[in-house]
Amino acid sequence: MTATQMTAGQGAEIKSGVPIRISHVSKTFGEDGDSPFQALKEIDMDIEPGEFISVVGPSGCGKSTLMLMVAGLLKRSHGDIVVGGKSVTKPITDVGIAFQDHLLLDFRSAMDNVMLQADIRGLPRKKIEARARELFEQLRLTPALEKYPRQLSGGMRQRVSLVRTLVHDPSVILMDEPFGALDALTRLQVRMDLEALWLRRRPTVLFITHSVEEAVGLSDRIFVMSPSPGEVVDEIEVDLSRPRPIVLGNAPEFAAYVDRIYGHFERMGVLHGIDVPNAQAGGS
């Protein structure tokens, strides 16, 4: 089910995101040196407003490089990236970015960390604070408002980081392995929290992950990348109703998507089976 369709039981969807067009984009580091390194071959992606898009691939395939170029934090070597109808030539501002590390300041409370968005962007503090309190409540974080990062669990710190990413209602959310440091149960809960928040506002999301299951659990579409130099080897539309269930593994459709992606990784040599020698007669 794509972002342009109806969400089961929720009526017409809110769409506040903007389109992202990635056309023939490549990246080579050290182009002017003796040992250039091509991180990405030509990448083409057409992302619709309000879509949740995941990019999966092995380590070093250029997923994070692609995200940084979309954000305007890294120059592309060739091609064009257009966000909201404007070619990206400098860091974009209507964006929320989340990384694996929560990047919270130890000397500021949870609320004060979130309010950095208002301070840095010159936004009206009263409006941003009201939105922050709304998000804290939605994420069951109200008791953490005045606590410091050292007083919070890893999952709570990552939720505070999520509030900071979303508090200014950006049209584009860029996320690079935001759940990578969390334990399995906390990661599952934060995944469901993210989907619930995204369904309310419908920003356009580009989500970078190593987790195939996580990508299927969250995405409208998934782009599968090859090993370095990275290129798109498959584009998969995920036709599962929303909101997604807590446990997806029981659905045969879910398993089919997961198997398709892992199949690519096996064929590309990213995953290898284990050869078990035949047991000799007598069991010795």
Decide the pairing of beta strands 204-209 and 172-176: parallel
pLDDT band at 1 (very low <50, low <70, confident <90, very high): very low
Is the pLDDT at 83 greater than 60, yes or no?
yes
Residue 107 lies in a domain: no
Residue 153 lies in a domain: no
Residue 204 lies in a domain: yes
CATH number of the domain within which 243 lies? 3.40.50.300
Could you tell me if 70 and 174 are in contact, meaning their C-beta atoms sit under 8 angstroms apart?
yes
For residues 240 and 243, give the distance between their C-alpha atoms in angstroms, rounded to a whole number. 9
For residues 251 and 187, give the distance between their C-alpha atoms in angstroms, rounded to a whole number. 20
Residue 2 lies in a domain: no
Least confident of 119-123, 182-186, 238-242: 182-186
Q: Look over the chain and give the mean of its residue pLDDT values, rounded to a whole number.
A: 88
Highest mean pLDDT among 71-80, 116-125, 171-180: 71-80
- Helices marked H in 139-211 — which ranges? 154-166, 184-201
pLDDT band at 280 (very low <50, low <70, confident <90, very high): low
Residue 221 lies in a domain: yes
Please give the tally of structural domains in the chain: 1
Could you tell me if 78 and 38 are in contact, meaning their C-beta atoms sit under 8 angstroms apart?
no
- pTM over 0.85, yes/no: yes
Query: Of all residues in the chain, what percent carry a pLDDT higher than 70?
Result: 90
Residue 262 lies in a domain: yes
Residue 115 lies in a domain: no
Residue 151 lies in a domain: no
**DSSP H or E segment with residue 65:** helix 63-70
**Nearest to residue 53, comparing CAs of 261, 214, 223?**
223
Boundaries of domain holding 231: 20-94+170-267
